[in-house]
Amino acid sequence: MADELPKVEITHTPKKVNPLANYYRQPKLYIKLPSKGQYYPQGALDVAENGDYAVYAMTAKDELMLKTPDALLSGESTVQVIKSCIPAITDPWQMPTIDVDAALIAIRIATYGESMDVTGTCPNCKEESKYSIPLTSMLNKAQAFDWQPVVDADPLVIKIKPYNYQMLTKTNIKALEQQRILSIVNNDEMSEEEKLKRFNESFVKLTELTVDTLANVVESITSPEGEVTDREEIRNFMNNAPKEIFDKVQQAVGELKEKIEMPPQTSKCESCEKDFTMPITLDQSNFFAGRS
């Protein structure tokens, strides 16, 4: 009989728990995403069964991220802050734009409170004063957004989806390219030949970006022959579609952008006591500048 192998006792070293863990930040509020969790690719969102997502206040590191100009321009700072403060959104680059404003407002509320002070100039008396903006009502409006995804282009039915944050960043870069075109045209120190060359290069790049970005928001196209969801076939169609169909899709996307923008805030001037409206923007460099 073979000798029995000696018994080896396996012990598990208990995982060390940080004694300060109880003092880590906790969720300050819960929000419902306007998209209801749709349009996120697999792995980009830890879907909550009840639709409520925890929002944490920013850390000091998050605030520093929002003060880095290059990171703001590229969108990287916003991505990192959303990932930190709403951990269920594991890949904010892929979040639909209809969720971005709600996320940013909720993070601002969690960090600084339910109101935000802004400086506004009364158009009637030209007096500049500080006004308090109620962020909770803005968040409620953002959460109640109703998405209409269908464009009727008889006989085609085109189903569109919101831009994701990555595409939104590309769109912002497109706006910078448009500004670059204008600066080329108005540059008196450049020869006409050089102007034309650079203008053409920028225009081609801008056109390609416009078509590519628009093709990316088309989820499917249904014709009498059937439904098309293949990305390459949709991109080829958008490059060769009649202008009226292209314009309809572009108009629908433009209307979406208008719907998700924050409405102007009505305030009463402290000097002349007349009501006036102030545009509200979620520019991260100002929106997260602090309590005031």
Let me know if residue 3 belongs to a domain: no
What's phi and psi for 159, nearest 5 deg? -95, 125
| Residue listed under structure tokens 């034309």 | 196
Bridge partners (DSSP) listed for residue 153: 156
Q: What three-state secondary structure class fits 198?
A: helix
Distance of alpha carbon 256 from the chain centroid = 13
Let me know whether 137 and 240 are in one domain.
Answer: no
DSSP 8-state symbol, 57 = P
pTM for the whole thing?
0.76
Contact criterion met (CB below 8 Å) for 138 and 262:
yes
> What's the confidence (pLDDT) of residue 221?
94
Let me know whether 138 and 283 are in one domain.
Answer: yes
DSSP 8-state symbol, 49 = T
Let me know whether 136 and 207 are in one domain.
Answer: no
Let me know whether 104 and 202 are in one domain.
Answer: no
Residue closest to 154 by CA, chosen among 30, 245, 258, 233: 245
Let me know if residue 9 belongs to a domain: no
Domain residues for the domain of 131 are 25-145+271-287
Taking the C-alpha atoms of residue 101 and residue 258, their distance in angstroms, rounded to an integer, is 13
Let me know whether 32 and 72 are in one domain.
Answer: yes
| Distant-in-sequence, close-in-space partners of 158: CB < 8 Å, separation ≥ 6 | 150, 151, 218, 220, 221, 222, 245, 248, 249
Let me know whether 191 and 278 are in one domain.
Answer: no
Let me know whether 113 and 155 are in one domain.
Answer: no
Taking the C-alpha atoms of residue 133 and residue 154, their distance in angstroms, rounded to an integer, is 44
- Classify residue 62 as exposed, middle or buried by CB count within 10 Å of its CB (0-12, 13-18, 19+): buried
How many angstroms separate the Cα of 9 from the Cα of each of 3, 6, 16, 214? 18, 10, 21, 63
Distance of alpha carbon 257 from the chain centroid = 11
CB atoms within 10 A of CB 129: 14
Let me know if residue 208 belongs to a domain: yes
Number of H helices and E strands in the chain, helices first, is 10, 10
Let me know whether 82 and 188 are in one domain.
Answer: no
Let me know whether 82 and 129 are in one domain.
Answer: yes
> What's the confidence (pLDDT) of residue 17?
81
Distance of alpha carbon 97 from the chain centroid = 4
Instruction: Count how many domains the chain has.
Output: 2
> What's the confidence (pLDDT) of residue 292?
43
> What's the confidence (pLDDT) of residue 199?
73
10-residue stretch averages of pLDDT, the chain, 292 residues long? 60 75 88 92 93 94 80 79 96 93 93 86 84 86 82 92 84 68 68 76 74 86 94 91 91 81 79 82 61 48
> What's the confidence (pLDDT) of residue 178?
67
Q: What does the block give as tokens for 200? A: 């053409």
Let me know whether 127 and 214 are in one domain.
Answer: no
> What's the confidence (pLDDT) of residue 253?
84
Let me know if residue 266 belongs to a domain: no
Q: What three-state secondary structure class fits 1?
A: coil
* Cβ-count burial 130-165 (b if 16+ within 10 Å, e if not): ebebebeebbebbbebebebebebeebebebbbbbb
